[in-house]
Amino acid sequence: LQESRGTAPVFSAERLAAYASIVGQEKMSELYRLGEALQGVKVQQINSARFGGGVAEMLYSVIPFEKSLGLDVSWDVITAGTDFFVYTKTLHNFLQGKDNDLDLSGHRIYWETNRNNAGLIRDDAEIVFIHDPQPAGLIEYISPEIRQRQKWLWRCHIHLSHEHENVFHFLEGLIARYDLAVFSSGKFLPPWEGVTPAVILPYIDPLAEKNRDLPGETIRAICHKYGLEDLDKKPLILLVSRFDPFKGHHFALEAFRLVRRELPCRLLMVGGTASDDPENEAIFHRLQEEARGVSDVLLLNLPPDSHVEINAFQRAASIILQPSIKEGFGLTVSEAMWKEKPVIGGDVGGIPGQITDGYNGFLISPGEKGIAEMARRIRYLLLNPAFAREMGKRGKEAVRERFLITRGIRDEMMIFDSLLS
Ligand code: UDP
């Protein structure tokens, strides 16, 4: 798997040393100590997409990192048809509070697909770590003897909104069977008893292709390829997100429309497909229609492995927007802050955990109300570049402190350790 992306299956000594130079030797030594205690422990991570979206993004770094520390970690992805992903995306949207008709008859495809994937589960795994609702049903199909030997963790990466009781009932029955449920924010803990919850804030890998330093010429060449020239005269405002109903593309476009009347700037909205997200194309086309007639807007739908391109756009941008109306965490916020960019983000889900309003970024109201606020903040940042730079620097330090992979790996290993002891 890692070879297919040109990365070693474990990180090299140089790479581990490079983490130490970013976070300090003390933090790395702590990881080595935890790794000693967990030598050879068999962990199986399972999700529903190899590419696209925040979960795949994290797993690409977590697997080689934990292997480098001595754990026997593997990553499997369930196989499923379009019907299943249409159903689970509806479930995902419903869990995040989108008022839609959740077709409960779709459960059949949910359980069938999980049953068909049950053969993925490693009998020898000591810890089975399931990500998000799609593969959560696998636990139903494990034999009692094997289940008894294993610890099962369910990790929820989405913004659980507490409005829909019947979805919570659906989840409750499922999650109660797990030994531990991990959430991305204390705000998402479910309202029922009988689940042991934990919180792991998400994290980015500063050395991944998405985040590593890039030479100026690479950034310029990539911008040139997409027609983004003269960025000093027409600064770039960027939104990176899957084309999804909660990511706030429409609000970003409206705010840009207001600012563009007064100041030269351009808007790039870049997204891509995730194999478990069937909504991408329709939302992309709708947005294209909306953007018709607004000058200086570029919409790009890129393949999900366009990490260097996204890295370059984030580095070329003057301001980064993430005006989500629901957000499990929003890795794109930390990615942008790590690149010293001021981020204007929706005050929802995991975003306020990353941005301290007015200090290392700006928070705005989610939805229509946020359009004028966003436009005001964009104008302010465009007119005060020294302040924008300072804000970006503070953002980077906040990420170094709290949102790098080294902290995430430590949190995970501490959970593994406590589950096994
Ligand atoms: N991403 C990407 N290409 C895209 C859109 C997003 O590589 O076209 C990446 C983005 O850089 C981030 C992740 O996908 O690393 C999205 O994670 P986030 O937590 O922001 O949102 P999610 O997609 O998980 O809801």
| Cα 47 to ligand 1 centroid, rounded to whole Å | 15
**Cα(38) to centroid of ligand 1, in Å?**
30
Protein residue with its CA nearest to atom 15 in ligand 1? 54
Following CA atoms 277, 282, 286, 287 in sequence, which dihedral angle do they give, to the nearest 10 degrees? 30
Q: Which of 50-54, 129-133, 184-188, 270-274 has the highest mean pLDDT?
A: 129-133
Q: List C-alpha distances in Å: 299 to 85, 249, 250.
A: 25, 10, 12
Measured between alpha carbons, how far is 152 from 142 in angstroms, rounded to an integer?
A: 11
| φ/ψ (deg, to 5) at 152 | -110, 130
CA 56 to centroid of ligand 1, rounded, Å: 9
Q: What angle do CA 239, 233, 249 make, to 5 degrees?
A: 15
Beta strands in 24-171 (DSSP E): 42-47, 72-77, 127-131, 151-156
User: In sequence order, what are the residues at sequence separation of 6 or more whose Cβ sits closer than 8 angstroms to the Cβ of residue 345?
Assistant: 321, 322, 323, 324, 330, 333, 351, 352, 354, 355, 361, 362, 363, 364
291-300 burial: b if 16+ Cβ within 10 Å, else e:
beeeeebebb
Atom of ligand 1 nearest to the CA of 204: 15
For residue 1, pLDDT beyond 90: no
246 CA → ligand 1 middle, Å: 13
Q: In what order do the strands lie in the sheet with 127-131?
A: 72-77, 42-47, 127-131, 151-156, 180-183, 197-199
Side chain identity, residue 370? G
Question: Is-contact 43 416, C-beta < 8 A?
Answer: yes
Among protein residues, the one with the nearest Cα to ligand 1's atom 11 is: 332
Q: What is the pTM of this model?
A: 0.93
Place of tokens 């329709």: 282
**Of 171-185, 268-282, 350-364, highest mean pLDDT:** 350-364
DSSP designation for 404: B
Reported ipTM: the value is 0.98
Q: Edge-to-edge strands of the sheet including 362-364?
A: 297-302, 266-272, 236-240, 319-322, 343-346, 362-364
The rounded distance, in Å, linking the Cα atoms of 177 and 253 is 43
**What pLDDT sits at residue 165?**
73
In ligand 1, the atom with minimum distance to the C-alpha of 210 is 11
Residue 103, pLDDT score: 67
Whole-angstrom Cα distance, residue 253 to residue 153?
39
pLDDT at site 5? 37
Give the binding-site residues of ligand 1, using a 6 Å CB cut-off.
53-54, 57, 210, 240-242, 270-272, 302, 304, 310, 329-332, 335
Q: Which of 268, 331, 343 to mutate to test the pocket of ligand 1 (most atoms within 8 A of CB)?
A: 331
pLDDT digits (tens, 9 = 90+) for 343-400: 999 999 899 999 999 999 999 999 999 999 999 999 999 999 999 999 999 999 999 9
Taking the CA of residue 1 as centre, how many other CA atoms within 13 Å lie in the half-sphere pointing to its CB?
16
Please give the C-alpha separations between residue 303 and each of 132, 153, 339, 389, in angstroms, as whole numbers. 22, 31, 22, 31
Point out the ligand 1 atom lying closest to the alpha carbon of residue 158: 25
| Ligand 1 probe mutation, 88, 301, 310, 403, most atoms within 8 A of CB | 310
Q: Whole-angstrom Cα distance, residue 46 to residue 121?
A: 9
Res. 328 pLDDT band, cuts 50 70 90: confident
Judge whether 342 and 223 are in contact, CB under 8 Å.
no
Q: What is the pLDDT of residues 276-317, one digit of tens each?
A: 788 888 999 999 999 998 999 999 999 988 999 999 999 999
- For 199-253, the pLDDT digits (tens) are 998 899 999 999 999 999 999 999 999 999 999 999 999 999 999 999 999 999 9
What's the gap in Å between 262 CA and the centre of ligand 1?
Answer: 31
Rg (CA), the chain: 21
Concatenating the DSSP letter of every residue in 185-220 gives SGGG--S-SS--EEE----B-TTSTTTS---HHHHH
- Across the chain, mean pLDDT equals 92
User: What does the pLDDT look like over 123-156, one tens digit per residue?
Assistant: 999 999 999 999 999 999 999 999 999 999 999 9
The tokens 């949207």 sit on which residue? Answer: 93
Judged against a pLDDT cut of 50, whether residue 4 lies above it is answered with no
- Give the HSE-up count for residue 346: Cα atoms under 13 Å, Cβ half-sphere: 27
Residue 161: band (very low, low, confident or very high) from pLDDT cuts 50, 70, 90? confident
C-alpha 240 to ligand 1 mean position (Å): 7
Neighbour-count burial of 230, counting CB atoms closer than 10 A to its CB (0-12 exposed, 13-18 middle, 19+ buried) = exposed
**CA 242 to ligand 1 center in whole angstroms:** 6
Looking from the CA of residue 302, the nearest atom of ligand 1 is 8
- The pLDDT of residue 8 is 53
Question: What does the pLDDT look like over 239-265, one tens digit per residue?
Answer: 999 999 999 999 999 999 999 999 999
Mutate to test the pocket of ligand 1, among 188, 201, 205, 242 (most ligand atoms within 8 A of CB): 242
